[in-house]
Amino acid sequence: MSGQLTQEEQGSKRRPFFRTKTFSYLTDWVFVIIMGILWGLLGKLEPFHREFSLTDKTIMYPHKPDTITFSAAAAICSVIPLATIIFLCILRHWKDCLYALRNREHPYKFYHDLHIGILSFVVAMTMNLMFTNVVKNLAGRKRPDFIARCKPKAGSSDPTWGLSTNDVCTETDEYLMQDGQRSFPSGHSSFSFAGLGYMSFFIAGYFKLYDGRGFSHVAYLANFPLLFATYVALTRVSDYRHHWQDVFIGSLLGLGMAYFAYRVYYPPLGSDDAGEPYNRRCQNRENNKKIDGNGSANNDSTSGAQDFQPPIHLSILNGPNHQFQGHPHTAINYQGV
């Protein structure tokens, strides 16, 4: 019929809307890049030189190798969460992708969910790294092994009416000395809890942990990343790299940044549409346009709630007889998939 659009014409109408929606996140990525550059620059600044006592036993621990190096922690706490995000997005939208491939379309909903999952994760990591480096340089707290790094001159002692400065040190390695004055907060701890903490929130939202049905296996799965993050944090104390306060505050900082970034793009974990990224950018408020499962604009403000069907992962977990109600903010149409 002449009044009906072909699949190619429908696809051409969807693409501009999806592209506009994608480009609306350009400023987010610009700020991510800026945060990354600032993190790199701040890491090269000289920390505050706090005076210290040569008899302070809290900074007289031996200098030993790291149990988990920062590069290893960075790889684990970045690669594993990103792989988890990609896997869960594929698991949620594999039917969408197959339908799109059969009809020569693009799985716009899959693209959107994957994009938001990666973007919010990167936001959490860059914000945490920048904030951690700023505080490290401003605080200038000595590490527990600072005296071993410093290697004071033979016969050195504190002034009668004061404390010692770095002038008593004989160590010539500038990086080793500067790193010894960046104890607070713990970078390993904040980085681990930012990356793995975000992974925990993402899993909890994906499986709708707080929907009132009480699945303990989901709770264990969501909390497992935090167990490894705790292990990384505790090694910083046993390696004499940080005081316990550094690790505690660093862990809270990383977890807080992870939750903050997650909530910028996702609804609360206890809401009906938990785990579904917000879909409010580039909306036509007059017509209340939404983007459906294939990326097309939907003018019916209630159709999203009426047509919503449980994603495949919830059907597997909860059985075919489970009644799942959508949320009016979700606006996802899975029909025809």
Q: Which residues are catalytic?
A: 188, 242
Strands 297-298 and 290-291: antiparallel
Asked whether the beta carbons of 192 and 233 are under 8 A apart, the reply is: yes
How far is CA 190 from each of CA 67, 183, 187, 225, 296, rounded to the nearest angstrom? 17, 12, 5, 14, 40
In contact, 100 and 294? CB cutoff 8 Å: yes
CA atoms of 98 and 204, how far apart (whole Å): 26
Residues 6+ apart with CB under 8 A from 10: 296
DSSP label of 184: S
For residue 296, the tally of other CB atoms under 10 A from its CB is 19
CA atoms of 228 and 248, how far apart (whole Å): 15
Cβ atoms 327, 277 nearer than 8 A: no
E-only strand ranges, the chain: 290-291, 297-298
- Angle at CA of residue 175, ends 172 and 178, nearest 5°: 95
Eight-state DSSP code of residue 291: E
- Which pair of tokens denotes residue 221? 């799965």
CA–CA gap between residue 150 and residue 281 (Å, rounded): 54
Q: Give residue for tokens 């919010």.
A: 120
CA distance 36 to 194: 15
Asked if residue 185 has a cis previous peptide bond (ω within 30° of 0), the answer is yes
